[in-house]
A and B are shown apart, each in its own frame.
Chain A
Amino acid sequence: MSGSVLQYCSTTFAITLCLWGHPYLNSIFLLFFFFFSLTPWVPVVGLEIHAQISSNSKLFSGSQVQFAAPPNSLVSFFDASLPGTLPVLNRRCVEAAVMTGLALNCSINKKSLFDRKHYFYADLPAGYQITQQRVPIAVNGSLSYSLCIDNKMSQMVTKTVRIKQIQLEQDSGKSLHDDVRSQTLVDLNRAGVGLMEVVMEPDMCCGEEAAAAVRELQLILQTLGSSQAVMAEGQLRVDANVSVHHPGEPYGVRTEVKNINSIRFLAKAVDYEIERQIEELESGGTILNETRAFDSKLGCTVPMRDKEGKQDYRFMPEPNLPPLILYNARSLPANMNHQQVVNIDWIHERLPDLPSVKRAKLVEQYGILPEHSFTLLNEAGLTEFFEDVIKQTQMKPKKVIGWILNDLLSYLKQHSLTVKESPVSSFLLADLLNRLEKKEISSTAAKQVFAELWKGEGKTPLEIVKEKKLQLIQDQEDLERICQAVMAIKSGNRKVLNKLIGLVQRETQGRSNPVLVKQLLEKKLSE
């Protein structure tokens, strides 16, 4: 299914083609489809992303922010909504949102407002969430992301999605429903943690695009440090708005897909929902404006429990928080306490290199392929590892990248480890590569050493090389002796030269310098 959906992105005509072969469509329908409905469907995907702000304390209270702390151990009087408590805005959260806004090319609102959004839920103690409905902190941005066509790393296209706004808001607590004892348990540790809601315009058209956009956002957030953005820990939550329509017609009715907890599932959920909607419409049905949950086990979306009709959130200005005023260098009041002001320019000047810039620099500086730069950045810490190795070795970056991507990364993937957890440090890898570069060992031997290093037994490459007798044999007499032995078996036939080299290598367990062996053999043959 995902294969066929991918084509929505590239050409719309391809969609009609792929529907031909769909198992659920019977021949009568196909005929109808052929004559009356040749117009293709255009899927439209927009995203609402909640990123938990990485900060020591919550958005409006001094309680600590920590994942997986004992239940209700990080709850201030305000978080529990004790009567009479008031919100006090956390400066760090504001700065994180400004940073994120700037990184996403938004205009930062010098004055933004807070609102209350009302609904009753057990994990929302105040009965309302403080958010920024009317005037958010950042608006009108854009995010460029790249994705590969047909899963080929070599064919990358760059696309842009508009960012409608970024708003600051409170997270809710967590409810645990114990159906057996018909109890609901509430944990307020998360209640009041700062969130940035990033609203992406419906500029995407398939799961791959949505996934690529979110991945890029995730990298940006992690680079900025404004959010740890780990989806598995709920620091990044993505809701997808999906609809389909015919070209030239207004957007179709959209559904909101929730409960997506990985980027892979995002792509799956969006593609499933697009297919479902097309099928539904093709078979004469209608799309309901509803919220659906993605079931990762079944790989499909299902309608969520109806919340008794449409909610009216009864938005109201938050009266306990004055407007949030931000300054730039020009508007900065002279006599104001610096602890009290947030200076946009100051933050702008200190923005770290964003992933796109980092990739361009990597390509330029090290001459690696653009797709390699994507892989480097996609794995947390891999770029740093790569650069560390480069610093410590004479090997050319173009060659180093092969070792990083083909050897280190595949080992990491095989063992589900992060770069940080790698048993082979950048120092050890550089040491190994230096020996390879100095021709102390062959590349075949180097792979063997790497495999040994991976065991993490604390041995240095040199120790392994000695132990396993993997040194490249440089001694001419030695090699001559070996070659003679080979020659003794085979008569001088030029055609079997390569075979002979192979035999020499077998004889020497791959330790002989192939160039030297070739030269020697040629010499012997010409004698």
Chain B
Amino acid sequence: LLGRASLLVSAALKEGRVAPTELCQRCLSLIKSTKFLNAYITVAEETALKQAEESEKRYKRGQPLGVLDGIPIAVKDNFNTAGIETTCASNMLKGYISPYNATVVQKLLDQGAVLLGKTNLDEFAMGSGSTDGVFGPVRNPWSYSRQYKEKSVPKSHSEDKDSNWVITGGSSGGSAAAVSSFTCFAALGSDTGGSTRNPAAHCGVVGLKPTYGLISRHGLIPLVNSMDVPGILTRCVDDAAVVLGSLAGHDPKDSTTIQDNFKPFELSDLTDVSKLSIGIPKEYHAPGLSSEILALWSKAADLFKNAGAKVIEVSLPHTRYSIVCYHVLCTAEVASNMARFDGLEYGHRSDMNKSTESMYAATRREGFNDVVRGRILSGNYFLLKQNYENYFIKAQKVRRLIANDFVKVFGSGVDILLTPTTLSDAIPYMEFIKEDNRTRSAQDDILTQAANMAGLPAINVPTALSERGLPVGLQFIGRSFQEKQLLTVAKWFEKQVKFPMIQLDEVKRHDHGVFQHQKSASFLEHRT
């Protein structure tokens, strides 16, 4: 049951085959038995059960609030949740309980979703491994899958059998792991440079980064305001479309959201791809791209070609400047956004009380990790009067060029771009931490952050398992606000590749129904 797509479960809820409280209980006990994944920072057991009970009453009255009513979800711990701790995996906000809900959280709750808890991340979402939070690294559920265990080279008995586990990617690693390990049906992540799509690729789930401005950022603790978007992690494309439909639209509390009304949509099955033009940006053949992923990328292109779509190589010439440019813009905004954490109004406050200034300094030294402090320092450097023109302004200009690259390509008739999401499959934690956060972020965001620069919608679709038995995903990038087209194509692709289900002993023990549904079933198919 837990392994199903949320919307199929929604049908089961509606038909009374399963009760919201039962579903919630099962998820909660699965969270407990997969605690070693460290996917959750806070599990809101009590409130979740209360919400499930309310949902159950609505179903009994025959008045559910919609398809999400009673569906257990998880939210990245950088979204404000009233009454539930919001930490950003930082000492700075440990114990911080927000008085308000982020708009996206409120929208989910208003539609009856059951909030199980808050998921782990890199401190303030700064990272690409979900390894740099104050609550420790998130473990990729696939590390414990039968698929990975079978393929990985058996180590000598003396070695810790646990040392082989791989990272989830990040920074929304907790959300990706939570969805991947069936502890929830959908999760919110955030995506600034790839933070939703990257862990989605490594954890074998769908990760959608919508167009900038389509979903409210109010209540999302910012990393880079001009690039942040709430991300959606689900087990299938249809689910992503439903969650998107429930979140999208203007928010009077976020002036950067679009004014136009957003109409939720259902995804139809694409039968004819011959009118589609798929662009393959050659610059995404980046240094370090694994041959395995390159092969998979070509195969995917062939898949479209063979089905009659037009597949053409395109060029986004400024892509290679993207990561440096991103570094400047990101750190500058970080420096600014982090200025509010001074220990006065909320969050950690140092005992140092010699002067206000010394209290500030100590608070920020104690509250932030090296990564955050490093970005604050470089960001302030770039914003200094003498550097502003040379760095910040230049980076903004380059950003415009990058965005224009996309405009040109889409203007030339290309509908969707197909690229890899990551350079390789997930690597073991012990391997990952050999390089510092900055190096890793620069490498790992390389294929994803251009979409953030340009504000475009992009989605990771799990595609296949690598030779090591780990998930590999491909990315589709669409035109601004053309989520429907993007998701329709992604759904077609998802159907073709038949990505295998994760096989986890923990889940098997908890849910006997899981493996009877190998394909990720769609709600819409079953409803019609």
Contact = CB atoms under 8 A, between A and B. Distances in A.
Interface of A: 77, 80-89, 116, 118, 120, 122, 125-128, 184, 186, 312, 314-316, 319-322, 340
A81 B339 CA distance: 10
A88 B252 contact: yes
B265 interface: no
B22 interface: no
Given A125-B345, A312-B385, A84 B221 contact: yes
A89 B255 CA distance: 8
Size class of the B contact interface (CB-based, 8 Å): 35 or more
Nearest to A183: B353
Contacts of B369: none
Given A86-B218, A86-B254, A312-B384, A116 B80 contact: no
Given A88-B255, A120-B339, A319 B225 contact: yes
A293 B389 CA distance: 34
Interface string B98-119: 1110100000000000000000
A314 B335 CA distance: 10
A80 B255 contact: no
B356 A77 contact: no
Given A86-B217, A320-B225, A120 B333 contact: no
18 contacts: A77-B99, A81-B340, A82-B80, A82-B100, A84-B219, A85-B218, A85-B219, A89-B255, A118-B339, A125-B345, A127-B342, A128-B336, A312-B384, A312-B385, A314-B380, A316-B332, A316-B333, A321-B255
Contact of A83 (B80, B252, B336): B80
A25 to B, nearest CB: 41
Interface in B62-92: 79-80, 86, 88
A88 B253 contact: yes
Contacts of A88: 252-253, 255
A120 B359 CA distance: 12
Given A120-B342, A319-B333, 16 more contacts: A77-B100, A80-B345, A83-B98, A83-B346, A84-B98, A86-B217, A125-B340, A125-B344, A128-B339, A312-B385, A314-B336, A314-B384, A314-B385, A319-B226, A320-B225, A320-B254
A84 B80 contact: yes
B360 interface: yes
Contacts of A320: 225, 254-256
Given A84-B222, A86-B255, A88-B252, A120 B360 contact: yes
Contact of B336 (A116, A120, A125, A186): A116
Contacts of B255: 86-89, 320-322
B345 A82 contact: yes
A118 B93 contact: no
B388 A127 contact: no
The 9 residue pairs across chains A and B that have the minimum distance between CB atoms:
A127-B339, A314-B383, A319-B225, A319-B226, A83-B221, A81-B340, A84-B219, A126-B340, A84-B80
A89 B217 CA distance: 16
Interface string B233-264: 00000000000000000001111100100000
B346 A82 contact: yes
Nearest to B79: A84
Interface in B346-370: 346, 356-357, 360
B220 interface: yes
Interface of B: 79-80, 86, 88, 93, 98-100, 102, 217-222, 224-226, 252-256, 259, 332-333, 335-336, 338-342, 344-346, 356-357, 360, 380, 383-385, 388, 392
Contacts of A186: 344
A342 to B, nearest CB: 14
Contacts of B254: 86, 320
A12 B57 CA distance: 88
Given A80-B345, A82-B346, A86-B255, A315 B383 contact: yes
Contacts of B345: 80-82, 125
Contacts of A118: 336, 339, 383
A312 B392 CA distance: 15
B253 A86 contact: yes
A73 to B, nearest CB: 15
Nearest to A313: B385
Contacts of A87: 255
Contacts of A84: 79-80, 98, 102, 218-222
B463 to A, nearest CB: 34
A126 B338 CA distance: 8
B259 A83 contact: no
A88 B251 CA distance: 11
Among A83, A89, A314, A319, chain B packs the most CB atoms within 10 A around the CB of A83
Contacts of B99: 77, 82
Nearest to A308: B357
A439 to B, nearest CB: 68
Contacts of B384: 312, 314
A86 to B, nearest CB: 5
A89 B357 CA distance: 31
A128 B380 CA distance: 13
A316 B226 contact: no
A87 B100 CA distance: 16
Nearest to A184: B356
Contacts of A122: 344, 356
Given A77-B100, A186-B344, A120 B225 contact: no
A196 to B, nearest CB: 20
A68 B380 CA distance: 37
Contacts of B339: 118, 120, 126-128
Contacts of A89: 255
A83 B99 CA distance: 11
Contacts of B225: 319-320
Contacts of B332: 316
Given A84-B80, A340-B259, A120 B357 contact: yes
B24 to A, nearest CB: 26
A272 to B, nearest CB: 32
Contacts of A116: 336
Contacts of A316: 332-333, 336, 383, 392
B258 to A, nearest CB: 11
B351 to A, nearest CB: 15
A205 to B, nearest CB: 31
A83 B340 contact: yes
Max count, chain B CB within 10 A of own CB: residue among A80, A84, A312, A322? A84
B218 A127 contact: no
B94 to A, nearest CB: 13
A128 B334 CA distance: 13
Contacts of A184: 356
Contacts of A77: 99-100
B260 to A, nearest CB: 11
A77 B80 CA distance: 12
Nearest to B396: A317
A312 to B, nearest CB: 5
A88 B257 CA distance: 11
Given A84-B98, A125-B340, A312-B385, A322 B256 contact: yes
A127 B253 contact: no
A88 B253 CA distance: 6
A89 B333 CA distance: 20
A116 B222 CA distance: 15
B383 A127 contact: no
B251 to A, nearest CB: 9
A415 B253 CA distance: 50
A53 B252 CA distance: 22
Contacts of A83: 80, 86, 88, 93, 98, 221-222, 340-341, 346
Contacts of B80: 82-84
A53 to B, nearest CB: 19
A312 B382 CA distance: 12
Contacts of A125: 340, 342, 344-345
A325 to B, nearest CB: 12
Nearest to A340: B259
A121 to B, nearest CB: 8
